Every structure is written in C-alpha cells, then in structure tokens.
Amino acid sequence: MKKRDFPKAEKCFIDARRPELAIRMFEEAGSSQDALRVARKHAPNMLNEINKRFTSANGKMSGEDILRSAKLHEDNREWDKAINIYLEITQDHYPDPKDLEKIWGKAIQLCNNYSKERLQEVTKIVCKRLREVKCYETAGEYYENLGSYENAADCYRLAKQFEKAKACLGNVKNPQTYKKLDEIIQRDFKEHIKGSDNVDMMLDHGEIKSGIDLLVNRGDWSQALDAAQKHGADV
C-alpha cells in the first residue's frame, strides 16, 4: 500500500476474501472506476452503497464517474435515479455538444421506456439545454415527438431545416402563433437562400434579383441574361 502497488494489494485482499478492503482502498485513492469494478465482480451487494457515496460527491466526480453511476442505477432498475443522474451532466463534464446530445438523449430514452409520466418534464429540460448548445435539429425532433409543434418548428428554423419547420408549422393550431412563426420562418428562409451562393435555389424560390446579381458578380453575363429573360426580370 505504501508503495501504491494497487494491483498487488487488490489481489491480496481478494485472496483473503476481503473485497470490501480493496474497494475502500480504491475509493480512498479516488479511483471510482476500480472500486466499482471490484464491487461488480466480488461484492455486488455493495454496489448500491458505493453508488450512493459516489452520487453524493457528484460535484467532485468526473463525467465518466457520473455516467458509471447512472449506468449502475440502470443495472439496478432504478430508472428515476438514473434519469436524474444523466441530467446532472453539463458542458463542464463534456464540452462537445454531440456528447451531451447522446447523454441527455439517454434520459429521454429511459423516460420513454420506463418512466413515461416524466417524459414531458424531462424532454422540456433536455430541449432547453440542447438549444443552449445549438443542437437545434435534435431539439426539434424531441419537441415534435412530444407534439409541441410550435417549439419544434422554431428549432428546425434555427437548424435551417426549413421543410421540417414548415411541416411542423402546419400543426400549429393558434392562428396568431401560426402567423407570427410563419413570418419568421419565411424571413429566415429568404435570408438563407440569399446567403446560399446557390443560383438555382435563388431562382426557384423567387429571389430573382439576388440570383441574377450573383451571376453578374461571377461575370457570367450569358446566364444572367438568360435568367432575366426567363423570369422577366429587369436587369
């Protein structure tokens, strides 16, 4: 122990049928992964107790430790506890939004499968966080699954998924909300087209002047003239 030869010490404790001492050794050394590993293999009756200790110290735990704690609750079929722990993950633990998308999605998945009474509450929490980390399309999908079409349409708009935004908008029942959101979607769609550098898209969606201006700026006078003649634009 003084030499910090943990593998040797672990073997001695296991051979002596004292796995709890090996677990304590790893806990005091701050190695939660090893403590859980030993418990799973040699003292499964201690898993809940260990997990409670780790959970109570969440502020000091790494993202990996928190995920292991959540998984342990899953293994014990403690669904609500697992959901709560997945929701404790923040950007401080995983800066990459894709990681957060996957982890928070696990909380929604557990609600779908085992705790449907929490689905709406947890989905709203996750969607708010996904918007904060700019995972707009995934937030839109969760909102759409929940039947929150106004929020889904707005998230799809932010993700520049305008066809999906328009599809969800069609399910918005409040006329005032529909009109306001429709105006915003149309405005952003036009801006998206103008900034797309795609002449065909501009011409197909009525942005004739922008499309011809782009052709002129490229020096493509022949196509600019053809577009003007075809669409009746005054160049």
Among residues 47, 63, 80, the one where a domain terminates is 47
Residue 86 has pLDDT above 70, yes or no: yes
Residue 229 lies in domain: 195-235
pLDDT of residue 73: 85
Structure tokens of 47? Answer: 């898993």
pLDDT of residue 48: 75
Q: Are 157 and 138 in contact (CB under 8 A)?
A: no
Q: What is the pLDDT of residues 19-51, one digit of tens each?
A: 999 988 988 887 777 888 898 888 888 877 877
Q: Measured on CA atoms in the order 130, 132, 133, 137, is the torsion positive or negative?
A: positive
Q: What gap in Å lies between CA 208 and CA 72, rounded to an integer? A: 59
- 60 pLDDT band, cuts 50/70/90, is low
Residue of higher predicted confidence among 50 and 199: 50
For the stretch 13-45, what's the b/e string if a residue is b when 16 or more beta carbons lie within 10 angstroms of its beta carbon? bbeeeebbbbbebbbeeeebebbbbbbeebbee
Q: Write down the mean pLDDT value for the chain.
A: 84
Q: Measured on CA atoms in the order 168, 171, 173, 175, is the torsion positive or negative?
A: positive
pLDDT of residue 179: 96
Residue 235 has pLDDT above 50, yes or no: no
Residue of higher predicted confidence among 218 and 233: 218
Query: Does 141 map to a domain?
Result: no
Query: Does 224 map to a domain?
Result: yes
- Overall average pLDDT of the 86-113 stretch: 96
| Cα angle, residue 11 at apex, residues 5 and 16 outer, rounded to 5° | 130
For the stretch 74-87, what's the b/e string if a residue is b when 16 or more beta carbons lie within 10 angstroms of its beta carbon? beeebbebbbbbbb
Query: Does 75 map to a domain?
Result: no
Residue of higher predicted confidence among 190 and 173: 173
Domain count within the chain: 2
Query: Does 59 map to a domain?
Result: no
Q: What is the pLDDT of residues 63-85, one digit of tens each?
A: 888 898 888 888 888 899 999 99
Q: What gap in Å lies between CA 98 and CA 201, rounded to an integer? A: 30
- Overall average pLDDT of the 95-121 stretch: 96
pLDDT of residue 216: 56
Q: What is the DSSP string of 14-37?
A: HHTT-HHHHHHHHHHTT-HHHHHH
Provide the percentage of residues in the chain whose pLDDT is more than 90: 46
Structure tokens of 116? Answer: 């449907």
Structure tokens of 40? Answer: 């799973």
| Cα angle, residue 137 at apex, residues 81 and 207 outer, rounded to 5° | 165
Query: Does 169 map to a domain?
Result: no
Residue 232 has pLDDT above 80, yes or no: no
Structure tokens of 98? Answer: 């894709």
Residue 227 has pLDDT above 50, yes or no: yes
Query: Does 216 map to a domain?
Result: yes
- Overall average pLDDT of the 107-128 stretch: 97
Q: Residue 233 CB: number of other CB atoms within 10 A?
A: 14
pLDDT of residue 233: 45
Computed over its alpha carbons, how large is the radius of gyration of the chain? 28
